[in-house]
Amino acid sequence: MRLKLIRGITLSLIVCILPGISANAAEIEGVIFPEKYTADELELELRGFGLLRYMVFVKAYVGGLYLPAGTAVDQILSGVPKRLEVEYFQTFKGEAFGQATNKIIAKNVDPETLERLRPKIEYHNSLYQDVEPGDRYSLTYIPGRGTELALNGVPKGIVEGSEFADALFSVWFGPNPIDKSFKKQLLGL
């Protein structure tokens, strides 16, 4: 009985100490991802979240993937609404994002698709800015609207087309993603 009382008091104290963390949120490495995100009247749910490291020990960033409820993993690159949020632990130059995007899209789409999408990819890459630790990029694809890139909640631009969205999201979810372990974490596998 006394142990239950102590546990109850401890839990109450934790809830009071952490008022900013909702019961409807996920946390990884001190970064919070809400369980739901609404975009253009579409409700997306947090599917998975994870940590990407490089050189084994260096934490690069954490990310969270949002999809409509019931979306199968194999539908991620099929024009479904989606959102990826990435919060950084390191400083990165904007040009580095564009270079990595070009390289990894090229590994995931055929040469004709890459050439057809080249103007859209170049425009998208021109939107990237340098990031500091704590900055958060988001990519949100809404069918009929396009893919919006935002930095710290401020929209940078939108690129139309599901073919572009699927090519861009292949950076994380294609057959040759930036990191296979991170892909699995984001997909909740």
- For residue 137, give the amino acid letter: Y
Rounded CA gap, 21 and 164, in Å?
35
Number of DSSP helices (H) and strands (E) in the chain, helices first: 5, 9
65: left (phi over 0), alpha (psi -120 to 50) or beta: beta
Domain boundaries along the sequence of the chain: 24-186
φ, ψ of residue 125 to 5 degrees: the values are: -65, -30
Name the CATH architecture for the domain at 24-186: 3-Layer(bba) Sandwich (3.50)
pLDDT in tens, the chain (189 residues): 443 333 333 333 333 333 333 456 889 999 999 999 998 889 999 999 999 998 778 899 999 999 999 999 999 999 999 999 999 999 999 999 999 999 999 999 999 999 999 999 999 999 999 999 999 999 999 999 999 999 999 999 999 999 999 999 999 999 999 999 999 999 998
Q: What pTM value is reported for the model?
A: 0.84
Tell me which residue of 188, 83, 90, 77 sits closest to 132, measured CA to CA.
90
Give the three-state DSSP class for 156: strand
* E strand residue ranges, the chain: 25-28, 31-34, 36-39, 42-54, 58-67, 82-88, 136-142, 146-151, 154-159
- Cβ neighbour number for residue 140 with a 10 Å cutoff: 24
Which residues lie below 8 Å from residue 19, measured CB to CB, with a gap of 6+?
none
